[in-house]
Structure 1
Amino acid sequence: MSAPVLEGWFTLDAEPRLIGNRCRRCGTYYFPRLKTGFCRNPDCDGESFEDTPLSRTGRLWSYTNAAYAPPEPYVACEPFQPFGIAAVELEQERMIVLGQLVRGTELSRLALGMPMVLVLEALDDGKLTWKWKVAT
């Protein structure tokens, strides 16, 4: 199996999940995981978090195309190939997570509210990353 592009950000299982964390006091979810010692929820003074796998399904909240190469840590191939980006509201956590759409996704066929599922796909350098795919 290929190495992940970002170690510890997602599982490499057959049904991959992003790895976030959750405030033990108020239950607020975070992705990527918080590295600070306090909850960002203004109504909470929690300072303890637990790692948690996040939902792998959700609904398309927004989308766009990336017509130019994003900054690091993204590894862009040369010549750069535009790709789609999806904002997906996770099913259980109700938080929005951005990610690329799988290769070949036609933006003209997308509609807000469509069911989406998290999958792994290899980048041009062979490393794996998470991407969003229309659920069938």
Structure 2
Amino acid sequence: MTETPAVEGWFTTGSEPALIASKCQACGTLAFPKGVDYCRNPACDGEEFVDAELSRTGTVWSYTDAQYQPPAPYTPTSDPYQPFALAAVELPEGIVVLGQLASGYGVDSVKVGSPVELVVEPAWTEEDGTVKTMWKWLPTEASKGAQA
């Protein structure tokens, strides 16, 4: 079984996965998802960027549950659709990244300010057997015992 990222170039895999941002060479501004067309800092005209790995840990800034099935290109993993939890996570770099909570965790597993860690999990399986993976946020404090 082959595993491959669902979005190529946005995150690394392995035992210590990381999100990959673009870093402006002129001012150092980080942007995720990666964007190489322009600097996201309105005061900068930078046009040269390098990849930069973001911190693997952060704190929950906000969270919700997806009670409805998102539109394409979302690929449902169950039929019927099963709701899942989403968290906006603030990283030490000052970037807020939206992502699904790790499998088995729901909105009862986190609160604003909860620490989380980046993990990579299978998202769906293609017809050819290729497993697509995606980054998710794993609660890392005592509240993680409240799995969904």
Query: TM-score w.r.t. structure 1 length?
Result: 0.91
Amino acid at match of 1:61: W
AA partner of residue 120 (structure 2): L
User: Cα offset for 1:8?
Assistant: 1.3
Separation in 2, partners of 1:118, 1:48: 27
How far 1:55 moved relative to its partner? Answer: 0.9
Structure 2 partner of 1:10: 11
> Is it true that 1:81 corresponds to 2:82 in the alignment?
yes
Whether 2:39 is the aligned partner of 1:39: answer yes
In the TM superposition, 1:1-136 aligns within 5 A as 2-36=3-37, 38-77=38-77, 78-91=79-92, 93-125=93-125, 126-136=131-141
Deviant stretches of 4+, over 6 Å:
none
Residue 146 of structure 2 corresponds to which residue in structure 1?
none
Question: Match of 1:35, as an amino acid?
Answer: V
What CA distance in whole angstroms lies between the structure 1 residues aligned with 2:45 and 2:36?
15
Give the letter for the 2:132 counterpart. K
Distance 1:114 1:21 in 2: 26
Distance 1:55 1:111 in 2: 20
Report deviation, 1:35.
3.4
Give, in angstroms, the shift of residue 106 of structure 1: 3.1
User: Residue 116 and residue 62 in structure 1: after superposition, are their counterparts in 2 closer, same or farther (change >3 A)?
Assistant: same
Moved more, 17-26 or 121-130: 121-130
Greater displacement, 81-90 / 7-16: 7-16
Gaps of 5+ in 2: 126-130, 142-148
1:4-28 CA deviation, whole Å, 9 max, x = no partner? 1111111012110011111111111
> Mean alpha-carbon deviation: is it higher for 66-75 or for 42-51?
66-75
The number of aligned residues is: 134
- Shift of the 35–24 alpha-carbon distance from structure 1 to 2, 3 Å rule, reads closer
Output the amino acid matched with 2:114: M
Deviation larger for 14-23 or 103-112: 103-112
Aligned-residue CA RMSD (Å):
1.4
Q: For residues 119 and 109 of structure 1, what CA distance do their matches in structure 2 show?
A: 16
